[in-house]
Structure formats: C-alpha cells, structure tokens
Structure 1
Amino acid sequence: MWDKYIYGLIIFLLFCLLVGSIFITFIYTPYLFSHYSTKEAGEIVSKIFPFYFKSGWITGIIIYTLVGVLSVKEKEIIKKLKWFVIATAVLILISMALDRAILPIAESLKSEYYHILSEGKQNEAKIIFSRFKTFHGISSVLNLVNIIIEIFMLIYILKFLKNYRKSYSI
C-alpha cells in the first residue's frame, strides 16, 4: 500500500525538477541577460546554477533510493523500470559533472577573462573567452540533455503506472 506514496513522491520530485529546469533554462536566465549587462547577469546566474545543478543529482539520488525501497517489496521492479533506472543514473552523472567539474572550470575561465580584460590584454582575453564559450556550450548541451532525460523519466513512470496500476492498486 505504501508503494503508491513512493510512486507519488517520485512523480512529484520529477515534476518539480523538470519545472525548475525549464524555468531556469528558458525563462529566468534569458530574462536576466535581457535586463542586465552580461557581466551582472553572469554574476547572478553564477550564484543560482550551483544550486540548480546540485538539485539534479541530489533529486536523482533520492529517486534512485526510492526505487530501491520499492524493490524491497517487489524484487522484479528494477527489471520493470530498467530504462527509468538507467535514465536516473545518467541524470545523476551529468548533473554531478555539471556541478563538480564543468561549472567550476567555466567560472574560473570567466573570472580570468574579466581579470585579463581589465588589464587591457585584449588578445589574451579573447583566447580565455573562447575557452569559456566552449565550456558554456558543453554545459548548455548537457543541461538540455538533462531536461530531455527528465521528460523521458516522467513520461516513463507515468506510462508504467498506467500499465501496471491494477497490480499496484494505484
């Protein structure tokens, strides 16, 4: 009986993660860059994105754990949710990479760019900015991949529950 609450929590967590991802990526960040200077918007975003990326891997670990809890009652659930579990693992790994590696490197390059630019070294600044753009591009692509994974996971779990609701009394 308690499994329906676990499924409900998984759906709730995925929905919150997806809505937050879409809001930050497609509404909040573009709004900041359209209303503030690039440097000011970048400073604001640099305060938000570490929490945003952390929320992805922490939520992923919680969901992964909840599926593990479900497997205590039904041993076959991992097989039935195989692609969901794989997607969760990929979400966790990408979010950790964004949080722990890519974002810190991009932030360091951005700081170095503004420092070198303030010293009037235009050519060196262009090189650093090019490296920053590369990491920003990687970050953007991985962020979009995560959003696609979140959509996949939400659809997958909803379809799973629709197909198996009678056996789970949901």
Structure 2
Amino acid sequence: MNRYIPFLILLLLGILLGFSISLTFIVAPLMFSHFSQRFAGEIMQTIFPYYFASGWLIGIIIYTFIAILSLKEKEIVKKLKSFIIALSIMIFSYMALHKAILPIAESLNNQYYSLLDAGKKEEAVLIKEKFKKVHAISSSLNLMNILILAFLFYNFYFKIKNKEL
C-alpha cells in the first residue's frame, strides 16, 4: 500500500490546485461578469465554505499519508521538511479563511444588502468598505495558497521523480 501513497498525495494536491485555480480565475470572474453582483455573491457564498474546508481537510489527509509513510521509513519527515512546513502554512491559511475570514465577510455582505434594501445607502457604503478590506485579505490568502499548492505539487513530484521518497 505504501507505494500508492505518494501517488495519492500527488493526486490530492493536483485536484486541490486545479480546483483552486479554476474557482479563482475562471468560475468567480465568470459569475461576476454574467450575473448581478448580489446573485453572483450569493452563489459564491455557497461555494466558498466547501472550497476552504476542502483545502484544510485535504492537507490533514496528506499529513496522515505522510505519517503512514513514516512508519516504514523514519527519515521521510527530514526529506519532506520544507514540504511539511509549506503544508502546515497552507492548512492554517485555509482554516483561517474557512472559520474566521469567511464568516466576517458573509456577515458584512449581508449587512450591506440589508442596509441597501432598507434605503440606507450611506451606511451601506461604510459596510462595503469594510467588506472590501476583508475581501482583499481573503483574496491575498487564497493567492498565497495557490502558490503554496503549486510549490507542494512540484516539490513532491520531483522528489518522487528523483526517487528521494
């Protein structure tokens, strides 16, 4: 079974990287360019919890696979030191997006539309500015996660290719 674990790790990283890139650079822009901002935002609010949760859950699954590999080969943690550090950063970032930043953004967005619906445009503009700041943080972390995923994928692929694992 251990010979399949590196393939599974690479597969999971590839799936998450592909999903992240397609959601960030294809799906979200298409949604906002073809639908009203409010409707597109509601759809994305439905997708993002699953997206962010998948990031940290896949990271934990990969940790588990590395732990299984380490039962047979004790030196694997040393060989994967930079990989494990980057994986840890990615997991914490996805957790922060899922459990802290996303709820704040959703709350601000809901407040914004409630104020607009109530005719309180001036107050809504203030909330929108707060939302933009949270969105900028979220977008930055998401881009960082995509870069980390690319590093993880290529790092692990070359370790397999060079028979370091």
- Whether the TM-score (by the shorter chain) exceeds 0.5 is yes
CA distance in 2, matches of 1:107, 1:58: 21
Residue pairs, 1:1-170, within 5 angstroms: 2-164=1-163
* Structure 2: runs of 5 or more not aligned: none
SS of the residue corresponding to residue 164 of structure 1 reads: coil
Displacement, 1:118?
1.5
SS of the residue corresponding to residue 4 of structure 1 reads: coil
CA distance in 2, matches of 1:83, 1:135: 29
Q: TM-score, normalised by structure 1?
A: 0.94
Percent of paired sites with the same residue? 52
SS of the residue corresponding to residue 74 of structure 2 reads: coil
Question: After TM superposition, which residue ranges in structure 1, 4 or more long, deviate above 4 angstroms?
Answer: none
Displacement, 1:140?
0.4
CA distance in 2, matches of 1:47, 1:5: 34
Displacement, 1:120?
1.6
CA distance in 2, matches of 1:3, 1:144: 32
AA of the residue aligned to 1:146: N
* Structure 1: runs of 5 or more not aligned: none
AA of the residue aligned to 1:163: N
AA of the residue aligned to 2:39: E
Q: Count matched residues.
A: 165
Displacement, 1:4?
2.0
